[in-house]
Amino acid sequence: MARSMAGSFIGLFSPYDIYFVNKSRNTIFHFYDSRGLDIVSNSKETLKELYLKRNEWILNYDLERIDSIFNSNIGEHSDALHHQSDLQ
């Protein structure tokens, strides 16, 4: 869905900041350009669902850090995770 939204709304570049806010899941999708998006949430579980389902979206330079967050033995926390993805 994000891939089709990005293609429909962004084109190559947009002069606008584009955000999709999902209030029921406390998630914000920020399409920064046609190459990708940032995903933030105050819920680690919500982000973990995306992490498991759309792991291929994670850029290589973010992969180790993000893997360590979701594969750690640390309990739940409400810190927002900055998740970048490459839609191409």
Q: What is the Cα–Cα distance from 27 to 51, expressed in whole angstroms?
A: 13
Greater confidence (65 vs 88) lies with: 65
The predicted model gives 69-81 an average pLDDT of: 55
User: Going edge to edge, which strands form the sheet with 27-33?
Assistant: 18-22, 27-33, 36-41, 83-86
pLDDT > 70 in the chain, percent: 66
CA distance 73 to 88: 32
Tell me: pLDDT of 3 over 90. Answer: no
Mean pLDDT score of the chain: 75
Which is nearest to 58 in space by CA: 67, 69, 49?
67
Per-residue pLDDT tens over the stretch 19-62: 999 999 999 999 887 778 899 999 999 999 999 999 988 889 88
Tokens 């594969």 locate to 71
